[in-house]
Amino acid sequence: MDLDKLRKTAAEVVSRDDVKYLIGWRPGSYGYRVAPGFVEEASAAETLIFSPLCTINLATYLTLTEKLPLPRGSAPDQRKVALMVKGCDSRAVLQLLVEKGIRRDQVLLIGCPCPGVVDTALLSLKYPETESPADLKWNGDHFLLRQDGQETAIPRLSVLAEKCRLCRYPNPVISDITLGEPVEAQLTAEDSAVAEVEAMELGARAAYWEEWFSRCLRCYACRNSCPLCYCRDCVLDRLNPTWVNRAVNFSENTAFHVARAFHLVGRCIECGECERVCPANIPLGRLNRKLAREVREQYGHEPGIDPDGKPFQAGFKPDDPEEFIL
Amino acid sequence: MSAMLLNKQKWTEFTGILSGKKVLAPVACGDRFRYAVPAEGKAFSLDFDRPLVPPKSAVFPQTETLYRFQLGKTELAAPQPGEELILLGVRPCDARAIKLVEKLFRWDVDDPYYLRRRELTTVVGLACLEPGLNCFCPSLGGGPASTEGLDLLMVDLGDSYYLEPLTDKGRSLMDLASGLLEEAGEEGLQKKEEAVRRAEEKIRRTVDTDGVPEILPDLWEHPLWQKTAAGCLGCGTCTYLCPTCHCFDIQDEIEGFEARRCRMWDSCMFEEYTLHTSGHNPRPTRRERTRNRINHKYSYFVRKFNVIACVGCGRCVNYCPVNIDLIETLREVKEAQ
């Protein structure tokens, strides 16, 4: 990706009268960290980057922005939010549009074809982070890491994020401006992580999830980072009635995770944010990808692909399979 | 008893001596460590980095039953913690934090739950000889071998552990194992000091806290809070992993006619934190909530207890999914002055 072009485009976009601000990626405060960059002035576009470290799905911020009560007599700011999106991120935006969570005229999408991002935790385990921000580049079947003046070539597959191994949509499915050339979709790997859980005996599978869910801290990072968890009034925050108790234990934690997984059936676009942000390392991706695959195979539905499609749970066909009904 | 050495070959024997007591030690869960009861009969090691959840959870559990009651009846049954506990492998920053949190639980009323647990707990520290990338404990008056809040400090000297008793609890624990220990002597002390000095040199990140508690009230409406909050997801990672965060909520949980009143960790990052019954929320957006997190640690707590409620463990920096970096925020606070 040509960074100059990216920054020039971003500067042009934020200078437009109909754009409020742009959300992109900027280098973080140290090591492999990348932070969301909120660009309001053209000059600040200089800080933007696009690299294999840009894992954050910025689509989350579209619905996360708080609307404060307006002073009397003032009109709401109707200008667009410009957003940089990878392939998976663009699917989240499209799904939001299909669900009418946002309006098309509220966003301006800058599409970034993405050859796959790294699993930052894995990367820092294999190549320890240092206090100065590092630079990582795509280079064929390698990543080029530049850190403290040293350059290291890292085999792509050794640190590639799991979701990217399985990615079928590396190019934005919707965008207003596309930067760079489309990326050729790689041969997607078998979802061995899901297969591993599926192969377990029922008892072992229950024990597997019990162990993970027991470790949940209920920090709700998975929910809050999810671009498609945007209910204004989340069932989990309700106290009257209390659907899920605040007590942190296996039973309540399971109620939380099962509720979340089911709310994402036919909606999850597999960006992997829930798993990436989980401080307890709970393999939430396995849960969501399993459900996504069931919907894909049973109903032929894939969320975040068809702009004219209906939300999965709002549709019904007389010949829908119903083998799961006991 | 003075400082002693425990040969690492006797480590299994040492853990055997503790086997009659409840021990919490860092146990590997995937690539992260947690304080847990080590598996029965299994030897465990002290080779770990910084556990994910701070050991404050042993004395201030994430969910704690205050009392049980039955609908329609007036008797309350309040469980009392009664089991002695040995917390093994506590990082000095986390031990300091337990001491800081104690200030709150001793403040207007003595909190019986916390204080009873604290009384029953022996905190055995392990000096940090390989500090993490985001450790900045010296900036807050701590250090890789700080002894505040510890009953016993252990320092890894390669083939042995250096054991320094700090309280009566620590001494009685060492008495139990006296058969396994040998005098550390002058040589042991020197080795320990050398190891700690090298560890101190490895700490890279620093924070200049000078004047921060005084500056913060003047920055109430400063744009830096909006900037910090823009990227914040509003999750509880920073607060739940913080060894000094101590906000809690109290809820009644009812099942049929049985009910219990519990206290559970709360987080100022959550939308319902300080949400009033009326629907009004004095901290309606993430701007107020991120501002509260810094102010509570670096201003309110200082005004009340004369000490900053941060120990520089770096967890919030490490685990924030969107790189909101406390060290950066504090730098911005200083610059905004």
DSSP, residue by residue, B85-96: EEEEEE-HHHHH
At residue A182, the pLDDT reads: 94
Cβ–Cβ < 8 Å for A61, A35: no
Q: What is the pLDDT of residues A264-292, one digit of tens each?
A: 999 999 999 999 999 999 999 999 999 99
Please give the average per-residue pLDDT across B138-143, as a whole number: 96
- Pick B236's closest partner by Cβ from A131, A219, A276: A219
Query: What band does B169 get if pLDDT is binned at 50, 70 and 90?
Result: very high
Portion of chain B with pLDDT greater than 70, in percent: 99
Among B229, B169, B156, smallest CA distance to B199 is for: B156
Q: Are residues A203 and A221 in the same domain?
A: yes
Do A300 and A169 reside in the same domain of the chain?
no
Helical axes B223-231 vs B286-295, angle rounded to 10°: 110
Domain boundary among A189, A208, A239: A189
Confidence of residue A12 (pLDDT cuts 50, 70, 90): very high
Name every chain B residue with its beta carbon within 8 A of the beta carbon of A61: 231
**Inter-chain contact A280–B234, Cβ cutoff 8 Å?**
no
pLDDT band at residue B19 using 50, 70 and 90 as cut-offs? confident
**pLDDT the model gives residue A237:** 86
| Average pLDDT estimate for B53-79 | 93
Query: If you measure CA to CA, which chain A residue comes closest to B250?
Result: A246
What local confidence, expressed as pLDDT, does residue A232 receive? 85
Inspect the interface and report whether the beta carbons of B204 and A131 lie closer than 8 Å: yes
**Residue A180 to residue A190: CA distance in whole angstroms:** 28
The reply to whether A120 falls in a domain is: yes
Whether residues A286 and A162 share a domain: the answer is no
Nearest chain B residue (CA) to A277: B321
Q: Which of B229, B209, B205 is nearest to B337 (CA)?
A: B209
User: ipTM value of the model?
Assistant: 0.94
Residue finishing a domain among A161, A189, A217: A189
Asked whether residue A188 carries a pLDDT value surpassing 90, the answer given is no
Share of chain A above pLDDT 70, in %: 100
List residues in chain B touching A: CB distance below 8 A.
29-32, 34, 52-53, 62-63, 133-134, 204-205, 227, 230-231, 233-237, 240-241, 249, 251, 253, 262, 264-265, 267, 270-272, 284-286, 317, 319, 321-325, 327-328
Q: Give the tokens for residue A50.
A: 């696009």
Q: How far is CA A210 from CA A312, B92, B293, in A?
A: 29, 32, 32
Residues A94 and A234 grouped into a single domain: no
Can you give the pLDDT at residue A84?
A: 98
What average pLDDT score do residues A197-215 get? 95
Higher pLDDT, A233 or B206: B206
Contact between A220 and B235 using a beta-carbon 8 Å cutoff: yes
B-contacting residues in A 218-277 (Cβ below 8 Å): 218-221, 223-225, 237, 239, 242, 245-249, 273, 276-277
List the domain range (segments joined by +) for residue A288.
190-319
Sequence spans of domains, chain B? 4-202, 212-336
Question: Which of A210, A246, A251, A286 to substitute to test the interface with B, most B CBs within 10 Å?
Answer: A246
Q: Is A324 within the bounds of a domain?
A: no
Q: In what order do the strands lie in the sheet with B152-156?
A: B32-36, B22-29, B85-90, B121-126, B152-156, B160-165, B4-7, B181-183
B236 closest CA partner among A224, A254, A220: A220
**A155 and A273 together in one domain:** no
Residue A6 confidence (pLDDT): 96
Residues A39 and A12 in one domain: yes
Residues A273 and A204 in one domain: yes
The shortest CB-CB distance from B251 to any of A246, A273, A281 is to A246
Distance separating alpha carbons of residues A268 and A256, to the nearest angstrom: 16
Q: Which residues, other chains included, contact A235 with Cβ-Cβ below 8 Å and sequence gap of 6+?
A: A243, A244, A259
What's the mean per-residue pLDDT of chain B? 93
Phi/psi region, residue A100 (left: phi>0; alpha: psi -120 to 50; beta: rest), is left
pLDDT band with cut points at 50, 70 and 90 for residue A326: low
**Residue B271: which of A31, A215, A237 has the nearest Cβ?**
A237
Residue of A127, A224, A244, A252 to mutate, interface with B, max B Cβ within 10 Å: A224
The dihedral through the CA atoms of A272, A273, A274, A276 has a sign that is positive
Mean pLDDT of A82-89: 98
Chain B: nearest CA to A243, how far in angstroms? 11
3-class state of residue B102 by DSSP:
helix
Chain B residue with the nearest C-alpha to that of A211: B29
Which of 170-209 (A) contact B at CB < 8 A? none
The answer as to whether A184 is a domain residue is: yes
Q: What is the mean pLDDT of chain A?
A: 94
Cβ <8 Å between A280 and B286: no
Token pair of A86 as six digits? 């990878």
Query: What are the phi and psi torsion angles at A269 (to 5°)?
Result: -105, 15
Phi, psi at B244, each rounded to 5°: -110, -10
Q: How far is Cα B289 from Cα B291, in angstroms, rounded to an integer? A: 5
A4 and A116 both lie in a single domain: yes
pLDDT greater than 80 at residue B81: no
* Total count of domains within chain A: 2
Quickly list H helices, chain A.
3-15, 60-64, 87-98, 120-126, 156-159, 162-165, 192-198, 202-214, 221-225, 250-263, 273-277, 284-299
Q: B317 to chain A: which residues are within 8 Å by CB?
A: 29
Tens of pLDDT, residue by residue over B96-122, are 999 999 999 999 999 999 999 999 999
**A170's tokens:** 């590396």
pLDDT of residue B279: 87
Going by pLDDT thresholds of 50, 70 and 90, the confidence category of residue B42 is: low
* A283 lies in the same domain as A303: yes
Same domain, A19 and A88: yes
Provide mean pLDDT across the span B189-210: 95
* Inside any domain, residue A326: no
Q: Do A205 and A177 reside in the same domain of the chain?
A: no
Instruction: Give the whole-angstrom CA distance, residue A198 versus residue B146.
Output: 48
Question: Can you give the length of chain A in residues?
Answer: 326
A325 assigned to some structural domain: no
Query: How confident is residue B309, by pLDDT bands cut at 50, 70 and 90?
Result: very high
Question: What are the tens digits of pLDDT across the range A65-78?
Answer: 877 778 888 888 89
The 3-state DSSP class for residue B33 equals strand
Query: Which of A139, A162, A189 is the C-terminal boundary of a domain?
Result: A189
A63 in reach of chain B (CB within 8 A) = no
A66 reaches B (C-beta below 8 A): yes
Residue A202 falls in which region: left (phi positive, over 0), alpha (psi -120 to 50) or beta? alpha
* pLDDT for residue B187: 93
What's the per-residue H, E or C state across B249-262? Answer: EEEEEEECCEEEEE
Residue of chain A whose alpha carbon sits nearest to that of B329? A29
Inspect the interface and report whether the beta carbons of A29 and B52 lie closer than 8 Å.
no
Among chain B residues, CA nearest to A238: B272
**pLDDT average, residue stretch A55-70:** 90
pTM: 0.94
- What share of chain A in percent tops pLDDT 90? 83
Whether residue A14 sits in one domain with residue A151: yes
Instruction: Identify the pLDDT of residue B41.
Output: 59
CA dist B149 → B86, B166, B203 (Å): 14, 9, 21
